[in-house]
Amino acid sequence: MRPSRAYRLTAEWLLAGDSPAPPPRDCRWEAIIAVASHHYVTPGLAWQLRHAAWVPPAAADYLDATLLLNRHRNAQLRAGLARLCERLSDAGLRPLLLKGAGLLASDLLPDPGYRLLGDLDILLEDAASLDAAATLLTADGYVWGTSEHSHQLPAATHPEHGFTVELHHSPARAPFGEQLDKRELFARAETVRIGETEALIPCAADRLAIALVHGQLQDGRHQRGIPSLRMIGDIALHLAAPDGQAAFAEACARLDRVAPRTSDAVVAIVDPYAGFPAQVTHALDSPWRHWWLGAKGLARALPGFLTRAPQERRLALTGARWRSRLARNFARW
């Protein structure tokens, strides 16, 4: 199975809603797991395929366990995000939750473990609010990293709770953040309840615009020609909502005003009638041998799910052993 086929199947399943179609008989599940892991969509894929009887038991066990672990992880993140929002609100600040943090606080996730998060991104209204939030994090024991970015402070990690917060003064790195007007983001934001307080999340069109700017421009996906499947998964969540199609169209139009035709590959992947874009197939398959060696290496690094006997797989699912064996693959957690 070539990388483009594994990518295409994974994208189709993420976009399929409640009716994912079975793969061809020659489907290589180690390749599916490799591409899902590379794009950080394994828990979302697990949710999409949870009722699919055609998933091999070994792969189903792995997917189910990944979703279960990410539920626990996201529960910790949401509790920490709620505490932080309460502290910021008590200080008179208005946090705007970006990307995964915004999804975690929204009602879009069909399962608490659906979305894999690396950190919590929070946008503040002005320089004074950013300084006040940074002072609050320091007082609460967060440890600051050293990497400087044009659009955010260095990452701050809580040593006890283990999650990382990134405080933003712009929604994206320069010059892309200039295309996402911060005042407009706050003016159009939605209020959500989290913990004992309220926070803001961007409206649907702005959430998608931020995802597209990050996924296609800031992270260089447009230049490489391979849209992020995590971004495709976020789009799928929004398309399932009543206003999803209109929000997606608005976000694509805004992106194309900045960089014409940047959204073409994304739109083609999302549209089931458009046909899979040839440029994505080429971009995935041109480094074919290198990719496949990496896929096989990842498959070997998994806890034996594709080769071991059922009893051994059950043993591998025990908490400490499971976490230890997956530490390498989920280091970004």
Residue 319 has pLDDT above 70, yes or no: no
Helix or strand or coil: residue 150?
coil
To which residue do tokens 């805004």 refer?
Answer: 254
- Enter the tokens of residue 192: 């959500």
Residue 303 has pLDDT above 70, yes or no: no
CB distance 61 to 43 below 8 Å = no
CB distance 199 to 105 below 8 Å = yes
Buried b (16+ CB within 10 A) or exposed e, 33-59: bbbbbbbbbbbbbbbbbeebeebeebb
- Enter the tokens of residue 283: 């971009």
pLDDT value at position 296?
53
CB distance 158 to 80 below 8 Å = yes
DSSP calls for 7-29:
HHHHHHHHTSTT-PPPPPTT--H
Residue 328 has pLDDT above 50, yes or no: no
DSSP calls for 92-115:
T---EEEHHHHHHHSS--SSTTSS
Q: Which residue, 65, 67, 1, 71, is CA-closest to 29?
A: 1
Residue 178 has pLDDT above 90, yes or no: no
pLDDT value at position 147?
81
Helix or strand or coil: residue 227?
coil
pLDDT value at position 16?
94
Q: Which residue, 230, 265, 307, 250, is CA-closest to 45?
A: 230
**CB neighbours (10 Å) of residue 73?**
19
Backbone angles phi, psi at 193, to 5 degrees: -95, 130
Sequence-ordered strand ranges (E) for 76-173: 96-98, 120-123, 143-144, 156-157, 164-168
Count Cβ atoms within 10 A of the Cβ of residue 161 and give its class: 0-12 exposed, 13-18 middle, 19 or more buried. middle
pLDDT value at position 144?
95
* Rounded-to-integer distance, Cα 159 and Cα 99, Å: 23
Report pLDDT digits (tens) over 29-78: 999 998 999 899 999 999 999 999 999 999 999 999 999 999 999 999 99
Three-state SS sequence of 258-295 = HCCCCCHHHHHHHCCCCCCCHHHHHHHHCCHHHHHHHH
Residue 123 has pLDDT above 80, yes or no: yes
Count Cβ atoms within 10 A of the Cβ of residue 310 and give its class: 0-12 exposed, 13-18 middle, 19 or more buried. exposed
pLDDT value at position 309?
60
Average pLDDT rounded to a whole number, residues 318-328: 45
Report pLDDT digits (tens) over 130-164: 999 999 999 999 999 988 788 899 999 998 877 89
Residue 280 has pLDDT above 70, yes or no: yes
- Enter the tokens of residue 141: 């024991």
Q: Which residue, 332, 279, 325, 317, is CA-closest to 58?
A: 317
What is the pLDDT confidence band of residue 113, given thresholds at 50, 70 and 90? very high
pLDDT value at position 33?
92
To which residue do tokens 């950013």 refer?
Answer: 130
Give the domain ranges of the chain.
Answer: 3-311
